[in-house]
Amino acid sequence: MQMLEYLAEKPMRAKELAERTSTKWATAHRTLAYLREHGFVRRDEATGLHYVGRRLFAIGSSYLSEHPLFHTGEPLMRTASDRVSGFVQLAERDAYASIAIASVEPRTPIPSLSYANTYRPYPLHVGARGLVLLAFAPDDFIDAYLGHFTTVEGESAIEDADALRTVLEQTRSAGLVATEHDLTSPTAAIAAPVRDAEGAVVASASVVVDGREGRHDPAEVREVVLGLARSLSQMLGWRGQIGPR
């Protein structure tokens, strides 16, 4: 499973996978041979790189086929994208990462932003979509995350656990979060929580736009994100407030 998770981030050669998983070369070779034989990974013979295979994609797709937001939410996401020319995403929390489960690309592409770099997992403190999921997580989860907090230069403007805790408190109070240089540069993003019928935050709705000066109206993007999160939450049975306390 660990090998598959690493391959979901980027293609790798057998040697790199063995090093990343602290696995002996012979064990890694046998494991990859099994995964290739059963269609979970594929290997490019010219480069030696291993990629996620079709069978793994089929298994993952079955999760989305029954997801209550995936199909019914897409028209709302398209409307939001068209209104502000933004990249609209639904994301869920998976351990310490945010995972995009659906994306709608703007009709006019945003420089440096693509499906490739928006669908990959990101640490929860990286990007608006993850910050919302972290801010509304249970307190014990937040404490554990902060206890293991590390950042890589260039991946986030948040430099330490104290600064992150402040951002999370501000996010809970505001009911949303706005970021600059979100996932890639030059972009900006706003994200808000999606709640189920009991009020639990089960996803984040975010819009990523061109962050260059004059390319977007922050107030309009905020309105679109809150409206999208509200509509998606209502689809799940939530009748409470979405937005500032």
Which CATH number fits the domain that encloses residue 192? 3.30.450.40
Residue-range definition of the domain harbouring residue 34: 2-60
Q: How many helices (H) and strands (E) does the chain have?
A: 10, 8
Q: What percentage of the chain exceeds 70 in pLDDT? A: 89
201 with 91, same domain: the answer is yes
101 with 48, same domain: the answer is no
**Per-residue pLDDT reduced to its tens digit, 130-139:** 999 999 999 9
40 with 90, same domain: the answer is no
Secondary structure (H, E, C), 22-43: CCCHHHHHHHHHHHHHCCCEEE
Look at residue 149 and tell me if it is in a domain.
yes
Look at residue 244 and tell me if it is in a domain.
no
47 with 156, same domain: the answer is no
**Per-residue pLDDT reduced to its tens digit, 154-175:** 556 687 899 999 999 999 999 9
User: pTM for this one?
Assistant: 0.78
| C-alpha torsion sign, points 28, 31, 35, 36 | positive
Look at residue 115 and tell me if it is in a domain.
yes
Look at residue 245 and tell me if it is in a domain.
no
| CA separation for the pair 72, 46 (Å, rounded) | 42
Which one is predicted more confidently, 10 or 177? 177
Residue 108 has pLDDT above 70, yes or no: yes
Q: Which residues contact 212 (CB under 8 A, 6 or more apart)?
A: 186
44 with 97, same domain: the answer is no
Tally the domains of the chain. 2
55 with 153, same domain: the answer is no
147 with 200, same domain: the answer is yes
Look at residue 243 and tell me if it is in a domain.
no
pLDDT for the residue numbered 151: 67
37 with 78, same domain: the answer is no
Which residue spans within the chain are E strands per DSSP? 41-43, 50-52, 87-94, 97-104, 122-123, 177-180, 187-195, 201-210
pLDDT for the residue numbered 241: 84
Which one is predicted more confidently, 29 or 132? 132
Which of 60, 90, 108 is the last residue before a domain boundary?
60
Range among 22-31, 56-65, 118-127, 131-140 with highest mean pLDDT value: 131-140
Q: What percentage of the chain exceeds 90 in pLDDT? A: 40
Average pLDDT over residues 22-48: 88
Write the CATH number for 38.
1.10.10.10
51 with 77, same domain: the answer is no
Which of 29, 44, 60 is the last residue before a domain boundary?
60
